[in-house]
Amino acid sequence: MTDSDNIIFDTASRIFDDLSTAEVINEAEAGTWPEALWQAISESGLNLTWVPEENGGIGATLLDGFAVLKAAGGAALPVPLAETLFAGWLLAQAGLQVNGETATVASGELTLADGKLNGSVQGVPYARNAKQIVALVETAGKVQVVQVAAEQCDIAEQTNLAGEPADTVSFNAVAVEQTGEPGEGFNGENVEAMGALIRCVQAAGALSTALELTIEYSMERVQFGRAIGKFQAIQHSIAAFAGDVAAMNAAADAAAEAVARAPSIDHEAWIEIATAKTRLEEAVNNGAAIAHQVHGAMGFTYEHSLHHVTRRLWSWRDEFGSDVVWARRLGEEVLSWGADELWPRITTVTDAR
């Protein structure tokens, strides 16, 4: 993923730096919708990054969108940009129109009868702030992407560890606004995999921010007469942290690129996503721990902004299938390869097609 010389990425970074400030993030957690931030995002068209021009989008590439989401993760963005992009991507899979209003995806088991949606999904990110909820319904061999108005749904407010909305949404015979069929073979696993990938990319950005904060703090904070970064113990912790940050960025990029190479999420891309979500476990576990350890008690206060990224990291590793669930899925896949195909399956991703 390149993120230099890219006007979309530059625009996103500028908006996030200016408007996703510590105060805005804290106020959002307390329940104040960051209108100025969302307005700037909509005016720039970032909310339509993944939508093809014929479906109402701006025709940017999938990788442009992932670069934006990495920056969004790094900025602990307190608005559903990732969710809106995800919903737009899912609508576009079925050739449906996207208008860029706040949206989210309900990834779970739902039923559709006579144009009415039924069922309940837990942990729907930003459902309370969304105008639209998009879902995939699989019934009797038929797969459909559906869009409903969020105001028609019952939304029970819950939050994740970062205080981001993670609501329970009940659909009680909700009228469908638009519906369409995705391409052959597209199913709920693809939706969950895309959600997992989005979280990995955001987490790669959040880990990078946590590392930068940690490096800065280690050079400013003086103890025993010198900056704590001059102590070898601290240097080695931060070096190990840098390794996890680098690895998570590499794994997330690899998965994003695999999705961008395929028409949708093919089996190879699924394996790359499983790899990234599995790798997230250690990166978050070690990375967040080192970030807090180096920051000491200061980083443990609500006033310091380290928790904006670390709390998101602890949440994101669980969402769209936890890191451990994905490790088991990947392990099952590996077992299906068998001993003799293990190495060939590892190298195939980079071999000429």
Partner 1 sequence: MSVTRFRFPFVEMPAEATQLRQEVREFLTEERANGGYTPMADCWAGGLSAEFSYKLGQRGWLGMTWDKKYGGHGRSFLERYVVTEEMLAAGAPVMAHWIADRQSGPQIIKNATPEVRDAIIPRIVAGECFCAIGMSEPGTGSDLASVSTRAEKVEGGWKVNGTKLWSTGAHGPGCDYMITLLRTSPLDTSARHKGLSQFIIDLNTPGVDVRGIADIGGQVHFNETNFEDVFVPDSHVLGEVGGGWNMVVGELALERSGPERFLSTFIVLQEAMRLLVNNPTDQTKEVLGQVVAKIKTLRRMSLGIAGLLQEGSSPEMEAALVKDMSTNFERELLEKLRRILPQNVLYSSAGLLPTLLREGVLRVPSSTLRGGTNEVLKGMIARQLGIR
Q: Residues in the site for partner 1, rule: CB under 8 A? A: 3-4, 13, 16-17, 70-71, 74-75, 205, 208-209, 211-213, 215, 218-219, 227, 229-230, 232, 234-236, 238-240, 242-243, 245-247, 249-251, 253-254, 257, 272, 274-276, 278-279, 281, 324, 326-335, 338-339, 342-344, 346-347, 349-353
Cα distance between residue 176 and residue 160, in whole Å: 28
Residue number, 180 or 229, with CB nearest to partner 1: 229
Residue number, 49 or 278, with CB nearest to partner 1: 278
Residue number, 149 or 227, with CB nearest to partner 1: 227
Cα distance between residue 157 and residue 66, in whole Å: 28
Residue number, 37 or 133, with CB nearest to partner 1: 37
Radius of gyration, alpha carbons of the chain: 20
Query: Taking the complex as a whole, how short is the minimal distance between the CB of residue 96 and partner 1, in angstroms?
Result: 31
Residue number, 20 or 55, with CB nearest to partner 1: 20
Nearest partner of 47 among 92, 81, 74, judged by Cα: 81
Query: Taking the complex as a whole, how short is the minimal distance between the CB of residue 70 and partner 1, in angstroms?
Result: 7
CA distances from residue 249 to 146, 245, 288 in whole angstroms, order as listed: 33, 6, 15
Query: Taking the complex as a whole, how short is the minimal distance between the CB of residue 212 and partner 1, in angstroms?
Result: 5
Query: Taking the complex as a whole, how short is the minimal distance between the CB of residue 183 and partner 1, in angstroms?
Result: 25
Query: Taking the complex as a whole, how short is the minimal distance between the CB of residue 44 and partner 1, in angstroms?
Result: 16
Residue number, 131 or 221, with CB nearest to partner 1: 221
Alpha-carbon torsion, ordered 191, 195, 329, 347, to 10 deg: 100
Query: Taking the complex as a whole, how short is the minimal distance between the CB of residue 185 and partner 1, in angstroms?
Result: 23
Nearest partner of 153 among 132, 136, 174, judged by Cα: 174
